[in-house]
Amino acid sequence: MNLTDLKGIGPVRAESLRAMGIVSLRDLLFTLPTCYEDHHTVYPCATKEPGMIMISGKFRDPVRLTRFHGISRVSGSLTDETGSMPVCWFNAPWIMQQIHPGETIRLFGRMSIKNGKRQLQNPKIVTDDGWFPVYKTNRSVPEKTFRKLMMTGFSYLEDCCPETLPREFRLQHHLCELNFALREAHFPASMNNLEMARRRLSFERILLYLLYVSMAGNDKLPAHSFEITARHSEQYWSFLPFEPTSAQKKVLSEIMADLQKPFTMARLVQGDVGSGKTAVAFGSIWLSYTAGYQSAMMAPTEILAVQHYESARRILEPHGVVCRLLTGSTKPKDRRAILTELKEGTCNAVFGTHALISKDVVYQQLGLVITDEQHRFGVRQRSMLHEKGESKDHSFPHVLVLSATPIPRTLALILYGDLDISVIDELPKGRIPVKTRIVPEAKRSGMYGFLRERIREGRQAYIVCPSVEDSENNDELHSAKAVFEQLKDTALKDVRAALTWGGQKGTEKEQILHDFAEGCYDVLVSTTVIEVGINNPNATIMIIEDAERFGLSQLHQLRGRVGRGEIESWCFLLSEASEKMSILCKTNDGFEISRKDLELRGPGDMMGTRQSGDAPGTDLIGGDAKLLEEVSRAVKQLHEDPSQQATLQLLNRYAESYFHESGHGIALN
């Protein structure tokens, strides 16, 4: 059945739905609500807990309409037996016609507290009960219209969404039927039904994903087996100016075992901030060099690529490894020389950005590909670098993936389904844990006093803001430019400060970061552009404005920019006290923090901005890490139990059809 066959959908609306990724009735029915409004729990008007709430009461006095600079405001006070709640609507003068003093009315909206005063802003009038679905739509298809289309579409549910999982398999794993799951996922009769529905839909999509990547993972490509021994890895560790941790040695041994095999390594190395992933990556490059092969290490930003290159020159070049840097800003003359060296094999290791996959880059014998900050690359970009290493005998390079975001192992199975996983779960000796404190607005001046004392001692600091400039929609947020302008005339009047952000000109941004690292500035005000790849051991203070706007894992990454030396470091979270903020104050363990982040936000948001190719089902999982483990066990059982081979073959065909023929994006590595 075509979308245009559904009442209410003409060619124009069908095109608007297509822009939302909805091209069939099945797509429509599988577009689940982003959240649900609780229309049956009534909060007292005297409640002091901010958040989305529904209150019921009466307006004893008529609401008032005022106008200021073209903005209208309707305000009043809703009262029940517990007290009253100030209510206001912006740019909605028509609401006055729907409110009658003395009549009981229910309102649903966000109650916020500002400067100690409570207010329910822009609530809607509630006339129904139960759990009300909320969808992510666009202007062309308003939410009310979308909900009506959804209800119409359910008339054809049986025809377009037949059951997909065998009955025995569903019973074994306590999964409800698909049609029941879809109905309850959209219009739940109870929270219990909603949980059953979400569990069924999540289970199926994760199941299909793991089956698909396991099929892809079985297709090991031929590779040159490196003639290396433990002596070569010990030789590398002796080059370093510090003693490696046992975790680093263990992971490099796992990599070495892979490199000795005649098929491609596909290994993910993840570790906490400062755990020494780069040192392990350089060890892999050394092993590749001693075996007679070239290595390429691709970073998502030029800043990080330069940092890797300069570190490699200090560690590897004194021992014969010829290192080169190839980025978009490499001068034409230097670029031509590097391309010649790569083609002739006189360059042993090249570091760079997307420039490494340009058409004119040809490798003589590429044996190892390393991608840093994997989730920032598209699948096609990573694959292009891998394919560049295909040799004349159709052998492919080994692949090593680094992740600077600690991920719970269960989630890593989903995000990197076809990769072997190594974890560096130990920090170098002598590393002093960063002290983290929550700083409410009332204690801001005291924090600045502490900052000035540290600067007088010769230390440096970061101040990170959630946005570059002020926004009309977020007038309460602290922007980097506004904070910089304010502080240079007040709290940091006599301090050398600089400002940088992601959209700044590349050369200007790099110069500022370089000068900050060289000690030319005391304070660097920025956005999250400094989250990854900035290494300045002298920076001992991290101040994060509007900390509640960031996820736990991102806050941990930002905190990781300090505490990189042997000097006591501090991280100040400008925020009111909350469960999320207190977690950071209690632990510096990135894996524990990411586990909490998974519980609070769900895995889809943990990795930052969602990209095409995110693991399917991550938008459905919520914080249920146990479900990931359960599906992983189910897949293992399907592969190992001979009595389930028919079910496995059926589900494999379904998984291949779902991802291959339907064109769903998928990040295999």
> Tens digit of pLDDT for each residue in 585-633?
998 888 788 777 766 665 444 333 333 333 333 444 444 556 777 887 8
DSSP code string of 301-339: SHHHHHHHHHHHHHHTGGGT--EEEE-TTS-HHHHHHHH
Residue 455: the pLDDT is 96
The burial of 238, by beta-carbon neighbours within 10 Å (0-12 exposed, 13-18 middle, 19 or more buried), is given as exposed
Are 588 and 433 in contact by the 8 Å Cβ rule? The answer is: yes
For the beta carbon of residue 212, count every other beta carbon within 10 angstroms: 25
d(CA 616, CA 631): 13
d(CA 141, CA 139): 5
Equal fold, 41-125 vs 435-606:
no
Are 284 and 367 in contact by the 8 Å Cβ rule? The answer is: no
Domain residue spans of the chain: 1-35+136-158, 41-125, 230-424, 435-606
The dihedrals phi and psi of 53, each to the nearest 5 degrees, come to -140, 160
User: Tokens in use for 330?
Assistant: 């490499």
Q: Does domain 41-125 have CATH number 2.40.50.140?
A: yes
The burial of 545, by beta-carbon neighbours within 10 Å (0-12 exposed, 13-18 middle, 19 or more buried), is given as buried
Residue 582: the pLDDT is 92
Task: Quote the strand ranges of 353-397, DSSP E.
Answer: 366-372
List C-alpha distances in Å: 571 to 274, 411, 513, 575, 597: 16, 27, 20, 12, 19
Are 519 and 457 in contact by the 8 Å Cβ rule? The answer is: no
Residue 229: the pLDDT is 94
The dihedrals phi and psi of 629, each to the nearest 5 degrees, come to -65, -40
The burial of 50, by beta-carbon neighbours within 10 Å (0-12 exposed, 13-18 middle, 19 or more buried), is given as middle
Question: Tokens 């840097």 identify what position?
Answer: 325
For the beta carbon of residue 513, count every other beta carbon within 10 angstroms: 23
The pTM is what? 0.66
d(CA 298, CA 354): 7
Are 380 and 365 in contact by the 8 Å Cβ rule? The answer is: no
List C-alpha distances in Å: 555 to 419, 547, 548, 610, 651: 27, 8, 9, 18, 40
Are 75 and 110 in contact by the 8 Å Cβ rule? The answer is: no
- The SS3 of residue 342 is helix
Question: In the CATH scheme, what is the code of domain 435-606?
Answer: 3.40.50.300
Report pLDDT digits (tens) over 241-279.
Answer: 889 999 999 999 999 999 999 998 988 888 887 888 999
Sheet holding 398-403, edge to edge: 323-326, 349-352, 294-298, 366-372, 398-403, 266-271, 420-424
User: Tokens in use for 335?
Assistant: 């670029």
List C-alpha distances in Å: 606 to 97, 421, 570: 44, 19, 24
Query: Measuring CA to CA, which residue among 376, 239, 407 is closest to residue 304?
Result: 376
Are 77 and 85 in contact by the 8 Å Cβ rule? The answer is: yes
Query: Measuring CA to CA, which residue among 354, 357, 370, 351 is closest to residue 266?
Result: 370
207 contacts: CB under 8 Å, gap ≥ 6: 631, 634, 635, 651, 655
What is the signed CA dihedral for 208, 211, 213, 219, rounded to 10 degrees? -150
User: Tokens in use for 263?
Assistant: 């098929």
Are 396 and 365 in contact by the 8 Å Cβ rule? The answer is: no
Are 426 and 250 in contact by the 8 Å Cβ rule? The answer is: no
The C-alpha angle 303, 359, 294, rounded to 5 degrees, equals 65
Sign of CA dihedral 470, 475, 479, 484: positive
Amino acid sitting at position 185: A
Are 339 and 361 in contact by the 8 Å Cβ rule? The answer is: yes
Looking at CATH, the fold of the domain delimited by 230-424 is given as Rossmann fold (3.40.50)
Residue 233: the pLDDT is 95
d(CA 161, CA 201): 13
Query: What is the distance between the terminal CA atoms of the chain, rounded to a whole angstrom?
Result: 36
Amino acid sitting at position 245: T
Residues of the chain with pLDDT under 50: 374-382, 472-475, 603-623, 662-669
